[in-house]
Structure formats: structure tokens, C-alpha cells
């Protein structure tokens, strides 16, 4: 093998998450009630569109989670060795972006460095000029061609993206036709009220927009730094794409960590009452009353000490950084389960008094069974809602934590570390705005999609809503 697959801790959890998601989908397909609810989500244009956008980010994140260590060139008489550097499938795909570094800042699509440098001419003498980039626009024979070249690349991108979108639209139509031949002919006249049609048009439009933008970026990226380069000449586009995984990990793993706590403790407290309730209430009031940032700061520092005192646990830098990321998720999870727990406790208190639960109890059904059969399914909507609602908040929190200095490992590429580094760049003249803007825009898109999706999910699942 030319590479050694590596499963980092967070990778493992992500794969587990994908598996859980798969199981959940199977469960949903089985239960008519849930299937109905989700159908409603996808019937809303915003619901489906944001789902597609989130899926797009999700795919980036998953591809970025397939880690490996490349093999070093074989040498005679030596056992096969692997590089100490851990890469991901995404790194392999983006190898040109990752490896084509400049000396320092360059503006988006620039052909020259952002800072002047003294260059010595061969014939003697020197001048202070903006030197040409090593990679950006290096294929141009003369910089006069820049405009036409950029336009050409953009139009190629638009064309490819457009064609792909068209193909997608056709295939969706065909698939839809095959599934219900009448639906397309009569435009949903026959679709029953209980089974609303998915909003295919919004989904395809979103996917199309993503495809077109990606195609344009890919087309440009083969010759330029689309979002410019940062202080040490790394491609900002590469950094932003890599940040997506970190954001997703923090957004999803944290909720995954806190979920068992919140659900188990919340339901137990609500259902059993008595001293169990008192103890659990005590626990979450204590945790809740400590100002969040301080609790997180203390825990992060503590965990750092643990990581530092056991360097032997981690054979590569990536594993260290990954351990810190996972620990951050755990800490965020431990500090944020209290809200959901309280909600669930309240809901269970109500459910406990319902007739069928009372009846089940009277028939001597075991507590575990009651909780599993009757209580849990009836609080699931709260869990789903808070899951999607928390996601965006956590992604935003990471940026602030990095500012305070208690965020992810400085080696980890994340929106937080990008924004933190970019704060200084705004003070330059002329301003270096691109890394900040790139990080903000991509983060904004991710969070906006998550928020809008969460809104739709809540509308559908919350029975009390108008």
C-alpha cells in the first residue's frame, strides 16, 4: 500500500455519526409518523434547499475525515516507512492548493505579491517592486492577458456548472416521473394532502448554484489563488475549505456528546422525581451557574495539561491536535447539556401524568420499558429541535473561544483561528481583508443554512406551533 489509513478519534466519531444517521433514516422510513414529518420538511423550499447546502458542507467534512499517512519512497534494505504527516482525502484532492504557496500575502486572483521587495537584477542594480507570484497567474505570458484569462476561466466555470445543473435537473425530473408518473403530468394535482411533494425545484436550484460556484472556483483555482494567500503564503481557499470540517465536528460532536447525558438525566429526573430529581437538578444548577466561558477555560486548560504531560499518547501532531479538538467538543458538550436536560425534565413531568402512561404503570410495566416505549418517543421532537438549533451556536462559539485563547489547537485550521489571525491584518494599509472575509462568508453560509434548516424543522416538529 502506498498509504497507511489513519482513523483519528474525531474521524471515528464522525463515521459513527454517519452510521447513526443511516440507522435513523431507516427508522424514519419505517415509522409513518416520522416519515410524514420529514416529508413536510422537504416539502418546504427552504427546508430542502438548506438541507442540500448542509449536505454539500457535510460531504466536504466527510471527505476531509478520511485520513492517511503517505508512504515514503522505498529504499533498499529498509522496512517500509510512512511519513509522519497525516493527510486527508481532501488534502489529496486539493494538493495543488495546499502545496502552491507563495512567500506572503497576495490579493485574491492577484499575479503579484502584496508587499514590495527589493529585487536584484542580473546585470546589477536593484529595484523595489511587487514581485510576480510563484504560482498565481504564473501561466500568463504577460499580465495584460489577466483580464481575458480570468474572464475565460469564469465563463468555462459557468458553462460547466450550468451544464451540470441542467443534467441534474433532467435526472431529477426523470426520477420523479418514474416514481409517480401522474405527478409531473398533472403537476401535483393528485398528490394527496398527507404526502406533500418534496420541493425539488428549490433543491436543484441550490445544488445548481453550488455547482456553478464550485465550477467557477475550480476553474480559477487552477491558475490563481482565488481567495488570495495569507501571511505565510498559504492559499486562503484551502484554509476555508479545511475549516469546514472543524466547524462541523464542533457543531455535531458536541451535541452528540451531550445528548446521552441530557436525555437520560432529563427523563429520569422528570419521571422518577424524588431524590433523583433533586440530585440531577442540583447538578445542572451548579454547572449552569458557573459562567460558561470560565468553565470552558478551566476545562480546556486542564485538558491541555493532560495532553502535555502524556506526549507518548500521540505519535503525530495531527493526533495531538485531534485529541484537543475532541476534548473541546466534550467540554462544550458537558457545559451545554443543562438546557436540554431542563426542557426534557419539564416535558417528562407532563407526560408522566398522561393517562396511557399511568395505565401502563398500573399494569406493572417496568420503568425502563415505559421510558423507552412511551416517554422517549414523545420527547424526541424536542431533542431534534435542540440538536439542529444548537449546531449554529456552537460553530459561532468556536470563533469566540479561539479569540479568548481557549479554542482549538493552533495547528488546527478553523474559522476561529483564521478570524483570530486576520484581526491583525485589518490594521495594515492597504488592508488585507480577504482571509477575514472568506472565513466570515463561508461560516455565514454554513450557519445560515443550519439556522434556516433548524427553523423549518422546528416549525414541523413542534406540535404547539401555529
Partner 1 sequence: MLGLALLGGCADVWNNPYPGEGAGEGILYSAFISRPKHLDPVQAYSEDEATFLYQIYEPPLQYHYLKRPYTLEPAAAAAMPSVLLYDASGKRLAPDAPPQSVAYSVYEVRIKPGQMYQPHPAFAKDAGGNALYQWPDSERLGDRKAISDFSDTGSREVVAEDFEYQIKRLAHPHLHSPILELMSDYIVGLRDYAKKLRDTAAGAASVGWIDLREYPLSGVEVVDRYTYRIRLNGSYPQFPYWLAMPFFAPVPFEVDRFFAQPGMAERNLTLDWWPVGSGPFMLSENNPNSRMVLVRNPNYRRDETYPCEGEPGDERAGLLADCGKVLPLLDKVVFTREKESIPYWNKFLQGYYDASGVSSDNFDQAVQMGGQHDVSISDEMQDKGISLLTSVAPTVMYMGFNMLDPVVGGAGERARKLRLAISIALDQEEFISVFLNGRGVPAMHPIPPGIFGYREGEAGVNPLVYDWVDGKPRRKPVSEARKLLAEAGYPNGRDLQSGEPLVIYLDTTGTGVGGKAQVDWLAKQFRKIDVQLVVRSTDYNRFQDKIRKGNAQLFYWGWNADYPDPENLLFLLYGPQGKVKSHGENAANYENPEFDRLFERMKAMSDGPERQAIIDRAIAILQHDAPWVWGFYEKAYSLQHGWLHNRKPGRMIRNGLKYQRIDGEARAVARREWNRPERWPLLLVALLVTAMGLPAWLDYRRRERATATVNEH
Partner 2 sequence: MFGYIVRRALYALPILLGVNLLTFALFFVVNTPDDMARMQLGAKRVTPEAIENWKAERGYDKPRFYNDKAFGVSKFTDTIFYDKSLKMFAFEFGAADDGRDIAEEIRSRMVPSLAIALPTFLLGLYVTVSLALLLVFFRQTALDFSGVVLCVAMMSVSSLFYIIGGQWLVAKIWQLVPISGYTGGLDGARFLILPVLVSVVAGIGANTRWYRTIFLEEVSRDYVRTARAKGLSELRVLFRHVLKNAMIPVLTGVVVVIPLLFMGSLLVESFFGIPGLGSYTIDAINAQDFSVVRAMVFIGSLLYIVGLLLTDISYTLVDPRVRLE
Residues that bind partner 1 in the complex, under the rule CB under 8 A: 72, 75, 78-79, 81-85, 101, 103-104, 115-118, 128, 230-232, 234, 301, 304-305, 308, 311, 316-317, 320, 405, 409-411, 417, 420-421, 423-424, 426-430
Residue 298 lies near partner 2 (rule: CB under 8 A): yes
Per CB under 8 A, contacts with partner 2 among 403-462 are 403-406, 415, 419, 423, 426, 436, 440, 443-444, 447-448, 451-452, 455
The residues that bridge with 82 in the sheet, in sequence order, are 71
Using CB under 8 A, count the residues that bind partner 2: 41
Residue 400 lies near partner 2 (rule: CB under 8 A): yes
Nearer to partner 2, 362 or 466 (CB): 466
> 18 touches which of partner 1, partner 2, none (CB within 5 to 8 A by kind)?
none
The DSSP code for 73 is P
**Minimum CB–partner distance for residue 136 and partner 1 (Å):** 17
Q: Which helix (H) or strand (E) holds 285?
A: helix 274-289
Could you give the maximum distance between any two Cα atoms of the chain, in Å?
100
3-6, strands of its sheet edge to edge: 3-6, 67-70, 87-88
DSSP string, 390-444: HHHHHHHHHHHHHHHT-SS-TTS--HHHHHHHHHHHTTSSS---HHHHHHHHHHH
Q: Whole-angstrom Cα distance, residue 16 to residue 13?
A: 5
Residue 301 lies near partner 2 (rule: CB under 8 A): yes
> 290 touches which of partner 2, partner 1, none (CB within 5 to 8 A by kind)?
partner 2
Nine cell digits for residue 228: 488570495
**Minimum CB–partner distance for residue 86 and partner 1 (Å):** 11
Only one residue has cell 445543473, namely 165
Distance of CA 410 to the CA centre of its chain: 19
Residue 4 lies near partner 2 (rule: CB under 8 A): no
Residue of the chain from 19, 175, 305, 354 that contacts partner 2 (CB under 8 A): 305
Number of C-beta neighbours around residue 166 at 10 A: 12
Nine cell digits for residue 406: 481557549
Q: Whole-angstrom Cα distance, residue 216 to residue 210?
A: 10
> 378 touches which of partner 1, partner 2, none (CB within 5 to 8 A by kind)?
none
Query: How far is the first Cα of the chain from the last one, in angstroms, to the nearest whole number?
Result: 58
Q: How many helices (H) and strands (E) does the chain have?
A: 17, 5
> 85 touches which of partner 1, partner 2, none (CB within 5 to 8 A by kind)?
partner 1
The backbone region for 125, taken as left when phi is positive above 0, alpha when psi lies in -120 to 50, beta otherwise, is left
> 355 touches which of partner 2, partner 1, none (CB within 5 to 8 A by kind)?
none
Nearest to 262 by CA among 410, 424, 380, 114: 380
Nearer to partner 2, 313 or 444 (CB): 444
Residue 297 lies near partner 2 (rule: CB under 8 A): yes
Nearer to partner 1, 234 or 386 (CB): 234
**Minimum CB–partner distance for residue 440 and partner 2 (Å):** 6
Q: Whole-angstrom Cα distance, residue 155 to residue 212?
A: 10
Residue of the chain from 206, 246, 392, 412 that contacts partner 2 (CB under 8 A): 392
Residue of the chain from 290, 354, 380, 424 that contacts partner 2 (CB under 8 A): 290
Give the C-alpha distances (Å, rounded to integers) separating 314 from 9, 13, 47. Answer: 11, 18, 42
> 89 touches which of partner 1, partner 2, none (CB within 5 to 8 A by kind)?
none
> 104 touches which of partner 2, partner 1, none (CB within 5 to 8 A by kind)?
partner 1
- The contact set with partner 2 (CB under 8 A) reads 282, 285-286, 288-291, 293-295, 297-299, 301-302, 304-305, 392, 396, 399-400, 403-406, 415, 419, 423, 426, 436, 440, 443-444, 447-448, 451-452, 455, 464-466
Amino acid at each position: 500500500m502506498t498509504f497507511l489509513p489513519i482513523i483519528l478519534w474525531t474521524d471515528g466519531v464522525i463515521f459513527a455519526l454517519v452510521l447513526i444517521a443511516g440507522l435513523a433514516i431507516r427508522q424514519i422510513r419505517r415509522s409513518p409518523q416520522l416519515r410524514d414529518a420529514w416529508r413536510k420538511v422537504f416539502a418546504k423550499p427552504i427546508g430542502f434547499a438548506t438541507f442540500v447546502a448542509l449536505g454539500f458542507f457535510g460531504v466536504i467534512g466527510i471527505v476531509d475525515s478520511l485520513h492517511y499517512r503517505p508512504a515514503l519512497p522505498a529504499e533498499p534494505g529498509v522496512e517500509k516507512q510512512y511519513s509522519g504527516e497525516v493527510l486527508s482525502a481532501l488534502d489529496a484532492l486539493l494538493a495543488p492548493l495546499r502545496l502552491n504557496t507563495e512567500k506572503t500575502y497576495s490579493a485574491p486572483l492577484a499575479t503579484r505579491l502584496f508587499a514590495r521587495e527589493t529585487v536584484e537584477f542580473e546585470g546589477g542594480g536593484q529595484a523595489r517592486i511587487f514581485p510576480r507570484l510563484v504560482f498565481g497567474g504564473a501561466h500568463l505570458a504577460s499580465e495584460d492577458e489577466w483580464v481575458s484569462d480570468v474572464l475565460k476561466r469564469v465563463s468555462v466555470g459557468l458553462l460547466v456548472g450550468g451544464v451540470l445543473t441542467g443534467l441534474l435537473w433532467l435526472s431529477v425530473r426523470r426520477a420523479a416521473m418514474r416514481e409517480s408518473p401522474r405527478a409531473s403530468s398533472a403537476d401535483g394535482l393528485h398528490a394527496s394532502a398527507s404526502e406533500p411533494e418534496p420541493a425539488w425545484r428549490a433543491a436543484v436550484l441550490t445544488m445548481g448554484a453550488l455547482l456553478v460556484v464550485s465550477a467557477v472556483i475550480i476553474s480559477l483555482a487552477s491558475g490563481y489563488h482565488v481567495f488570495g494567500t495569507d501571511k505565510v503564503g498559504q492559499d486562503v481557499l484551502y484554509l476555508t475549505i479545511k475549516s469546514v470540517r472543524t466547524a462541523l465536528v464542533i457543531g455535531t460532536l458536541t451535541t452528540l456528546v451531550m445528548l446521552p447525558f441530557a436525555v437520560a438525566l432529563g427523563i429520569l429526573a422528570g419521571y422518577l422525581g424524588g431524590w433523583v430529581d433533586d440530585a440531577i437538578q442540583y447538578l445542572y444548577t451548579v454547572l449552569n451557574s458557573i459562567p460558561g466561558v470560565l468553565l470552558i477555560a478551566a476545562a480546556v486548560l486542564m485538558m491541555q495539561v493532560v495532553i502535555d504531560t502524556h506526549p507518548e499518547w500521540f505519535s503525530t501532531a495531527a493526533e495531538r491536535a485531534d485529541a484537543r479538538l475532541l476534548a473541546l467538543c466534550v467540554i462544550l458538550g458537558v457545559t451545554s447539556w443543562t438546557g436540554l436536560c431542563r426542557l426534557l425534565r419539564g416535558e417528562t413531568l407532563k407526560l408522566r401524568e398522561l393517562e396511557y402512561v399511568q395505565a401502563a404503570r398500573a399494569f406493572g410495566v417496568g420503568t425502563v420499558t415505559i421510558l423507552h416505549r412511551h416517554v422517549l418517543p414523545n420527547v424526541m421532537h424536542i431533542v431534534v429541535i435542540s440538536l439542529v438549533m444548537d449546531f449554529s451556536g456552537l460553530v459561532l462559539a468556536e470563533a469566540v473561544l479561539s479569540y479568548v485563547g481557549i479554542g482549538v489547537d493552533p495547528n488546527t485550521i478553523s474559522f476561529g483561528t483564521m478570524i483570530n489571525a486576520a484581526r491583525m491584518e485589518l490594521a495594515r494599509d492597504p488592508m488585507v481583508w480577504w482571509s477575514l472575509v472568506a472565513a466570515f462568508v463561508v461560516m455565514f453560509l454554513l450557519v445560515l443554512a443550519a439556522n434556516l434548516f433548524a427553523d423549518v424543522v422546528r416549525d414541523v416538529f413542534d406540535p404547539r406551533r401555529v
